[in-house]
Amino acid sequence: MLTKDAAPERGPTAAKRLRRVQSYTVGNLRASSCTGRPAAGSYTRTVSQLLRTRAAAAAALALVVAGCVTACAGGEPTPTPKPSTPAASSTPLAPPSPAPAPAAPAAPVASTDPNNLSVIVNKLRPLAPADYAPADVVEVPVPFANQPFLRKEAADATVAMFAAFEAQSGLKMQAQSAYRSYQTQVSVYAGWVASKGQAGADLTSARPGFSEHQTGLAIDISALPAACTLQRCFADTPQGQWLAANAVDYGFVLRYPDGGTPVTGYEFEPWHYRYVGVDTAKAYRASGATTLEQYFGLPAAPTYAP
């Protein structure tokens, strides 16, 4: 059913209404001096009430805007019309787009690619392929018990970390064990099984294909001269304490913390550090996580899959 409100306006009456609106709105605009935020919505409502048709209201609002732009050309802030009523929904002015929400920090994601610095290897996440060997392994020029090799980026970080420790403490530390190939791990693990049995070996040494040392991103560090090598009391040495406090700044994370066995599957190893890169290491510290599994939201890996 047509109502008079919906009927298009024609003839001299419509033109008269439009002039009346134009005069009214521009007058209000001058009164505001464009210094504040004019209530464009209220203009729109007034226009609608006077003109009674949406199309005419839209035209009148455009006049308001044009008048405001002119009035504010002297450098004062140009108010933004804000169509906010259904009557203004067909105006040619696009509604202001909402301010974009600040981007939430992306959740850290663990990688299964052994070449990725965020690879996580544990008893439920074997290396793939099992005999993976990193392509960019280099010798690490630091004091050592066993000649160390690591991936280039981790090697450079190790050199910087050792140098900082020496400069700050006047003491020395050495690489105990760094990159180990799949075949080396076969021998290491077999040796532990021979001395401790399989259950005991699994708390200390990874099975071949499950060792972080095979990534070229992990290093066991000991004091020089040797003290508490590969023993829990390394945590109490100056070397162990400095590493616990400062390794993160060089991109290394204490991988098997005290109390972490239910998650990591390994006993406390205050000597075993894993390179993840400085940014990730610092984000890890800031997160308050105590294991990389927790940081990356991975399930606990206390034992091998059956």
CA distances 77 to 27, 72, 98, Å, are: 18, 7, 20
Instruction: Specify the amino acid at residue 24.
Output: Y
Residue number with CB closer to Zn ion (24 or 182):
182
Two tokens at 228? 């508490």
Q: Does 217 bind Zn ion (CB under 5 A)?
A: no
DSSP 79: P
Q: Which of 217, 203, 102 is nearest to 152 (CA)?
A: 217
Least CB distance from residue 220 to Zn ion, whole Å? 4
Q: Which stretch binds Zn ion (CB under 5 A): 78-86, 135-143, 182-190, 215-223?
A: 215-223
Residue number with CB closer to Zn ion (59 or 230):
230
Residue number with CB closer to Zn ion (18 or 155):
155
R_g of the chain, CA atoms, integer Å: 35
Q: Which stretch binds Zn ion (CB under 5 A): 145-153, 163-171, 220-228, 260-268?
A: 220-228
CB 134 within 8 A of CB 179: yes
Give the contacts of 288 (CB within 8 A, at least 6 positions apart).
none
Least CB distance from residue 295 to Zn ion, whole Å? 19
Instruction: Specify the amino acid at residue 176.
Output: Q
Q: Does 179 bind Zn ion (CB under 5 A)?
A: no
Least CB distance from residue 272 to Zn ion, whole Å? 4
Residue number with CB closer to Zn ion (68 or 247):
247
**C-alpha span between 72 and 32 (Å, rounded):** 11
Two tokens at 196? 């401790």
Least CB distance from residue 260 to Zn ion, whole Å? 14
Residues 264-293 interacting with Zn ion (rule: CB under 5 A)? 272
* Strand spans (E) along the chain: 137-139, 149-151, 172-177, 218-224, 252-254, 272-275
Residue number with CB closer to Zn ion (116 or 204):
204
> Which residue sits closest to Zn ion, CB atoms considered?
272
Residue number with CB closer to Zn ion (220 or 293):
220
Residue number with CB closer to Zn ion (202 or 220):
220
Least CB distance from residue 256 to Zn ion, whole Å? 8
Least CB distance from residue 141 to Zn ion, whole Å? 20
Least CB distance from residue 160 to Zn ion, whole Å? 20
CA distances 157 to 44, 59, 141, 248, 278, Å, are: 65, 67, 11, 11, 9
Residue number with CB closer to Zn ion (21 or 217):
217
Q: Does 220 bind Zn ion (CB under 5 A)?
A: yes
Query: 219: helix, coil or strand?
Result: strand
**Number of amino acids touching Zn ion (CB under 5 A):** 2
Least CB distance from residue 175 to Zn ion, whole Å? 11
Cis peptide leading into 98, omega within 30 of 0? no
Question: Directed axis angle between helix 40-51 and helix 54-71, to 10°?
Answer: 140
Least CB distance from residue 97 to Zn ion, whole Å? 53
Residue number with CB closer to Zn ion (76 or 267):
267
Give bridge partners of residue 252 from the DSSP assignment. 275
List the x/- string, 129-168, binding to Zn ion by CB under 5 A.
Answer: ----------------------------------------
DSSP 270: T
Residues 54-73 interacting with Zn ion (rule: CB under 5 A)? none
Contact footprint for Zn ion (CB under 5 A): 220, 272
